[in-house]
Structure formats: C-alpha cells, structure tokens
Amino acid sequence: MMPIIGQQALLSIIIHLVFMAVTWWTLQAVRLEVLLKPNRVVQGRLLYILLTIAIGSTVANFFLDYWAWSNDLPYLFRD
C-alpha cells in the first residue's frame, strides 16, 4: 500500500511541474507588460509566476482527477 501512495505522490509532483513548465512557456507568448505600469518589472515577473502556478496547478489537478476517476470506473460495475 505504501509504495503505491509514494508512486502517486511522485506522479503528482511530476505532472504539476510539467504543466507549470508548459504554462510558463505558453505565457511567454502573452504580452502582459502592456497591462503593467512602467518600471514595475518585479511585479510583472511575480505576476507571471503566480499565473503560472495558478493555471498550471488547475490544469494538473484536472488531469489527475480525470485519471483517478477513470481508474475508479470499474468499481461501478462490480458486485
């Protein structure tokens, strides 16, 4: 039982990091600096980081939940 929990934790960490990397890469195509006041570089970078964490975590949680629900579907048809 314990190795399965450890594997799930490792998989969750990897999936979160992958989706955060994809989100960061995707946000680089958006010109958010147009929305920021001049000379607010630190706040702009922090905004990119917070958006990356928020979007990446949300998408990763969606995929992890979907995967867990898909694995639970066979229990619907058991006696």
Q: Which whole-number Å values give the CA distances from 8 to 4, 45, 57, 78, in the listed order?
A: 6, 32, 16, 24
pLDDT in tens, 59-73: 999 999 999 999 888
pLDDT in tens, 37-61: 888 889 989 999 999 999 999 999 9
Largest interatomic CA distance in the chain? 65
Concatenate the DSSP letters of all residues of 15-57 into one string. HHHHHHHHHHHHHTTS-GGGTSPTT-HHHHHHHHHHHHHHHHH
pLDDT value, residue 38: 87
